[in-house]
A and B are shown apart, each in its own frame.
Chain A
Amino acid sequence: MANSLQGIIRSNESEIYARWLELQQRLSGEGDILKQQDRRDQSRRLVAAFSRAVESGNLDNIHTPEWRPVLDVLSDISTARAASGATISETATFFFSVKQPIFEVLQRELSADPKQLTEAVWLTSTVVDKLGLYTIEIFQKTREDVIRRQQQEMMELSTPVVKLFDELIALPLIGTLDSARTQVVMENLLNNIVSASASIAIVDITGVPTVDTQVAQHLLKTVAAARLMGADCIISGLRPQIAQTIVHLGVELHNVTTKATMADALKLALQRMGYSIVRREAA
């Protein structure tokens, strides 16, 4: 049975390909020429790989070496489409539309034997469905990878530690502090205290939009950890509204030095380290 199916698909490969292209064009319109070229290319590779895989006779399990080329082509297509912003249903429709040309060919070739026809349609349908699901999985994975990468980038973006002077570092915080970010910020700060052998660290919260009890708690933890390492912390960049919020919330900031601006914090830090700033007489 599978033999005749293989034969039919193999010998009608170019017809299936041509019909499928026609169908795609009808489904998704003309599109621009570059996209058309891409689509033609992808479809040809896919039909070729598919007919070769069907020829192997294994239609039950698509995770075998015979189907490898088909899966590769599919994941290429799926990744490219996800990256270019296509929706899941567009991608799925694109692939599922291959059923129609195949069924047409089967119908023509097997019209003499309805029983065999039904069986062939069923087999093809199952395997195409499996491949379709695989395409969707890959599509979703690509999207998730993008999200994960963006999260990672946001983490890195938001926690730079700047060296201001010998033994003096600054940590300008940007964005809301949640538990995950506090962890990264804290580790980053402490490691930099060691590598810069800092004695004072300025934590600037100008870029933190709001301070609630949780954010304050995280800030205090960071300050406490830095103190355990032997570095003093100065918190700067407290805006008027934030100062009000902190007092209204009843957060205790007794043991922490706070300054309104980074400039004030820098002056204080230099003073504590025994430096004094003197303006040279103008010549």
Chain B
Amino acid sequence: MDRIPVLKMGEFLLVSIQVDMHDRLAMTLQDDITEMIVKHGSEGVLIDISGLNMVDSFIGRMISNIASMSRILDAEAVVVGMRPAVAITLVELGLELPGVRTALNVERGMDILRKHMRATDVAADADFNH
């Protein structure tokens, strides 16, 4: 059975979806990501969907769910590289993915994660010192 690889890059995880998702694949991915976050204590997840051509309401919800689960596990999720057609479809389906961070490409997504980490570090230091 095919699987979408979840790669560890330092404090982040990188998931690159390069095939069209079917429902089972999405469920497995959800398991894999949550397990990897817990195992490595990752602080951020980059989900690259630049290879995704088609979405339906289920896949749209899965993406949104994965992002929410990561946030609960204290890892910031950023969805990057969404294609115009996919964005239009999701909006037409009413799935505007509220609360999910987005970026144009992996590089920008990485910037967002780094900024986010710096901000939380500063906040944590401030808490610790007081």
- Interface on A for B, CB 8 Å cutoff? 183, 186-187, 190-191, 193-194, 197-199, 221, 224-231
Contact = CB atoms under 8 A, between A and B. Distances in A.
B35 to A, nearest CB: 27
Given A221-B91, A224-B91, A224-B96, A229 B84 contact: yes
Given A228-B82, A228-B87, A229-B82, A194 B104 contact: yes
Interface in B100-118: 102-105, 108-109
Contacts, number: 53
Contacts of A186: 88
A199 B108 contact: yes
B90 interface: yes
B84 A194 contact: yes
A51 B105 CA distance: 70
Given A194-B84, A224-B96, A228-B87, 11 more contacts: A186-B88, A187-B84, A187-B88, A193-B104, A194-B83, A221-B91, A228-B90, A229-B87, A230-B102, A230-B103, A230-B109
A193 B105 CA distance: 11
A225 B91 contact: yes
Contacts of A229: 82, 84, 87, 102, 104
B87 to A, nearest CB: 4
A186 B91 CA distance: 11
A183 to B, nearest CB: 8
Given A230-B80, A230-B82, A225 B87 contact: yes
4 A-B pairs closest in CB distance: A190-B84, A230-B103, A228-B87, A230-B104
**Most interface-central of A197, A226, A227 (chain B CB within 10 A):** A227
A138 B96 CA distance: 48
A266 B44 CA distance: 31
B43 to A, nearest CB: 20
A271 to B, nearest CB: 16
Contacts of B83: 194
Nearest to A224: B96
B104 A231 contact: yes
